[in-house]
Structures are given as structure tokens and as C-alpha cells.
């Protein structure tokens, strides 16, 4: 007997998605596992996330393995021999989008449910962040069999200690800060490096800590500009030729507002587009310190490149775990990493409630940086 499972990636791309896709395909199509469960899985890759399940047209059949998606094609069979090298690549070979089938006034979720039936999908594996998995949770309530894998470089999903893409993004922050040190040292400059992270500072704090940045500003703790200026002046008086300030895009000065490029994005989820605090902080610090200040917004550089070793490992483990859930028929669940172990939980209903940095344990409010004590 043959059963079909669909797989898609949604939201912002990041390293770790392709390793997860490969692992799911390899796990569920394994011949030995098929003998144990008594049936075979056929994996169908869905192009461009939820958009693919909205746009799917049965007049254009599911493509065979190794055939490129055409302009009207949104589904094709994936086999192990095709995905064997995917884990070395960043981004997502299936494509992504920020389509919201539950957008108020423009609901297309009935089409998604209908197309899942037309495709003959027994289940669906959704890999994504709060928006993608939030849609999966709602579809589960509509009767769709869903299994979820968490990803986001922001690291802010509830229920899991790790999300795919975070560690590679941290590596990018460190690499770029290391490059900036050369010009900062040469010209005795102060550099402000703006990272992603939206309303949480997981990426900025991890990246700043690894890079040895003396000042790290995160959304969870509004910063006092005067105090930051004092810290940087003191470093100069101590003989430091330069300083690096890492700031998360959602950080803000005490009593100030978050920097937004646009009040509402066009992604279907009505999120404000954050960004620009680095440039704002550059002007503040130049005025306060009298030093030459430059700002760099890392932006989408943090999403790019090949996945690091940790994201390849986690992508593989998450994919294997998703396969386990499929075999057991345990739907409506999300694979998670907790206390050093792979597990699964019911897809959280509160994904909009992001996981914040544990400030008391990890952050120094007075020095605006990583804590200098770690033992209890």
C-alpha cells in the first residue's frame, strides 16, 4: 500500500531547511522502515509554501522526480537520490512564500483543504516559524493531518530550545563582526552592527557574545543612550582603539519607539517591517562620544549561505523525528529540542507569544551585554 505525504517550507528562508527536507524524504522512503510499518510513503514536495497549496491546479499533475517545477506546477515527487546533496545547501529547494490562507477577508484555506484531498495527501509536513506553523495549527483544527518542524533565525518559537537556522545566522554575525574589526582598528572607529531578531534578542545576544562585542542591545531591555556612551568612552580611555556595538532590529532607547521601515508589511500576516535602529544609534553615539561611528545592517546576509554543522545535524534529527510521528500517525504535533533531547509536543496555540531572552539569567542590564557570571 502506498500513502502520500506532502512537505513544504514557509516564511523567511534560512539554512537548515534543505537538511530537514532531505531527512524526511530519506527517513520515510527507507525500505526497511516500510517493511516494519507495512506500507510505503511517497513524498510530494509542495512549491512555495502555503501558496503552493492555494495555487495547485489538478489540471497540472504531480511532476515525477527530478523534474523542475514549471510556471503552473506546484507539486512533484521527491526521492532520496534527488535530495542526497540538498543538506549542503542554504535556503530551500522547494521555495517559500508568506502566503496566509487565513487572512481576514481573503480566506483561501478551503482551497488548501480541498487541494490536500485532490493531491491524495495522508499528511503534511510543514517547516517554518510562527506564521507557517500557526497556519498548520489552524489547518489541523480543520481536519488536515499535520506534522511541524520549527525554523527561524530569530530563535523565538515557543516550546523548543532550538529552531533551524539560528546557529548559522549566529556564525554569520560573528564572521561579519570579525571583518569589521579590521577597518575599525585601522581607523579607530566605533561600529554599530544591526542584526535581525524582530522582538527578541536571541540572535543579537548569541552573536554578540560569540564575537566579543562589549555592548549588546536587545528588545527585551530598552537601553539608556547616556549609559552606553559612558561605557564606550571608558573603553577608549582604557586604550581600546575601537568598539563594536551589536543591536537587534527590535531594540529601542528607553522612552523611544522601535525603528520601522513600514508600518505593515505586505506578507499577509500584517507584521511591521523592523529595521533602522543601527543608523539611528549611529547618530546618537557619534553625538555622545565624539567618535567616528559607522553602522552596518546585516539584513538578509544572516539568512544566506550553507548551513553550519549544527544546523545540518539538527535538520537531520528534526526530519527523522517528523518521520517517526508520521509512521505512528501522531498528527497535530511539532518536533522540538528540549533539555538536550529531541521530542514532540502538540502544536502550540500561542505561537504569536514569542519566547523572550531570559534576561535575569543571561543579560547584564547595567553593562548592556552578556552577563559576566554564569554559575549559580
- pLDDT (tens digit, 9 = 90+) per residue, 115-164? 999 999 999 999 999 999 999 999 999 999 999 999 999 999 999 999 99
Averaged pLDDT for residues 23-35: 95
pLDDT band at 262 (very low <50, low <70, confident <90, very high): low
Which of the four pLDDT bands, split at 50, 70 and 90, describes residue 270?
confident
Active site amino acids: 154
Rounded to 5 degrees, φ, ψ at 155 are 65, 25
Q: CATH topology for 2-164+307-346?
A: Rossmann fold (3.40.50)
How far is the C-alpha of 242 from the C-alpha of 189, rounded, in Å? 5
Domains 2-164+307-346 and 167-303 share a fold: yes
Per-residue pLDDT averaged across 270-290, rounded?
93
- Assess whether pLDDT exceeds 80 at residue 220: yes
pLDDT confidence of residue 265: 55
195-214 pLDDT tens trace: 999 999 999 999 999 999 99
- Looking at CATH, the fold of the domain delimited by 167-303 is given as Rossmann fold (3.40.50)
Lowest mean pLDDT among 155-169, 264-278, 300-314, 359-373: 264-278
pLDDT at 266: 54
Quick one: average pLDDT of 255-279? 78
**Which are the contacts of 229, defined by CB distance < 8 A and separation ≥ 6?**
285, 288, 289
Q: Give the pLDDT of residue 272.
A: 85
**Which residue did the predictor score with more confidence, 260 or 185?**
185
Q: What is the pLDDT of residue 267?
A: 57
Phi, psi of 151 (to 5 degrees): -145, 145
Question: Is a pLDDT exceeding 70 seen at residue 5?
Answer: yes
- pLDDT, residue 264, reads 54
Least trusted range by pLDDT, from 50-64, 161-175, 265-279, 324-338: 265-279
Q: What residue ranges do the domains of the chain occupy?
A: 2-164+307-346, 167-303
**% pLDDT > 90, the chain:** 90
Amino acid at each position: 500500500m502506498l500513502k502520500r505525504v506532502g512537505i513544504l517550507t514557509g516564511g523567511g528562508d534560512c539554512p537548515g531547511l534543505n537538511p530537514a527536507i532531505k531527512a524526511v524524504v530519506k527517513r520515510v522512503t527507507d525500505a526497511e522502515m516500510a517493511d516494519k510499518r507495512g506500507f510505503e510513503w511517497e513524498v510530494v514536495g509542495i512549491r512555495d509554501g502555503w501558496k503552493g497549496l492555494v495555487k495547485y491546479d489538478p489540471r497540472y499533475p504531480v511532476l515525477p522526480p527530478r523534474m523542475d517545477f514549471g510556471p503552473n506546477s506546484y507539486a512533484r515527487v521527491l526521492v532520496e537520490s534527488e535530495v542526497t546533496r540538498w543538506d549542503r545547501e542554504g535556503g530551500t529547494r522547494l521555495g517559500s512564500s508568506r502566503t496566509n490562507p487565513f487572512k481576514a477577508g481573503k480566506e483561501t484555506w478551503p482551497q488548501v483543504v480541498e487541494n490536500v484531498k485532490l493531491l491524495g495527501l495522508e499528511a503534511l509536513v510543514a517547516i517554518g516559524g510562527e506564521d507557517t506553523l500557526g497556519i498548520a495549527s489552524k489547518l489541523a483544527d480543520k481536519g488536515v493531518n499535520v506534522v511541524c518542524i520549527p525554523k527561524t533565525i530569530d530563535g523565538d518559537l515557543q516550546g523548543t530550545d532550538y529552531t533551524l537556522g539560528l546557529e548559522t545566522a549566529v556564525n554569520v554575525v560573528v564572521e561579519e563582526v570579525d571583518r569589521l574589526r579590521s577597518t575599525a582598528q585601522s581607523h579607530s572607529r566605533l561600529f554599530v552592527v544591526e542584526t535581525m531578531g524582530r522582538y527578541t534578542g536571541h540572535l543579537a545576544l548569541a552573536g554578540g557574545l560569540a564575537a566579543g562585542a562589549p555592548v549588546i542591545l536587545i528588545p527585551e531591555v530598552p537601553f539608556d543612550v547616556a549609559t552606553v556612551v559612558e561605557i564606550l568612552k571608558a573603553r577608549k580611555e582604557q586604550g581600546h582603539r575601537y568598539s563594536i556595538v551589536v543591536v537587534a532590529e527590535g531594540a529601542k532607547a528607553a522612552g523611544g519607539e522601535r525603528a520601522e521601515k513600514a508600518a505593515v508589511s505586505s506578507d499577509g500576516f500584517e507584521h511591521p517591517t523592523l529595521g533602522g535602529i543601527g543608523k539611528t544609534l549611529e547618530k546618537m553615539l557619534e553625538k555622545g562620544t565624539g567618535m567616528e561611528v559607522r553602522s552596518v545592517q546585516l539584513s538578509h546576509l544572516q539568512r544566506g549561505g550553507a548551513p553550519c554543522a549544527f544546523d545540518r545535524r539538527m535538520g537531520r534529527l528534526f526530519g527523522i523525528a517528523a518521520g517517526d510521528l508520521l509512521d505512528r500517525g501522531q498528527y497535530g504535533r511539532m518536533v522540538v529540542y528540549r533539555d538536550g533531547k529531541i521530542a514532540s509536543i502538540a502544536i502550540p496555540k500561542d505561537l504569536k507569544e514569542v519566547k523572550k531572552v531570559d534576561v535575569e539569567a543571561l543579560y547584564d542590564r547595567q553593562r548592556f551585554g552578556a552577563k559576566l557570571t554564569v554559575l549559580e
